[in-house]
Amino acid sequence: MDLIDMLLQGHERLRGSLKTLDEMLGRPSGVGWDDRTTLDRTRFSLQLGVFLATFKAHEAVERAYLSRIVRQIGLDPELDAAVDEGHRSLEEMLRLFSAVATSYDGDHVYRLRTVLSQLSAELERHLIFEETQVFPRLRESLPAGLLRELGRRAGPRRRAGLKAGARRPSAAGRK
Domain spans of the chain, in order of start: 3-23+38-167
- Chain CA centroid to CA 136, Å: 20
What averages of pLDDT result for each successive group of 10 residues across the chain (175 residues)? Answer: 94 94 73 60 87 90 84 79 85 84 70 84 92 92 92 77 51 39
* Single pTM value for the model: 0.80
Query: CA separation (Å) from 69 to 6, 112, 130, 161?
Result: 15, 36, 14, 21
What pLDDT, on a 0 to 100 scale, did the predictor assign at position 173?
Answer: 39
Q: At 74, phi and psi to the nearest 5?
A: 60, 40
CATH superfamily name and code, 3-23+38-167: nmb1532 protein domain like (1.20.120.520)
Which residues, 6 or more positions from 47, have their beta carbon under 8 angstroms from its beta carbon? 17, 20, 21, 24
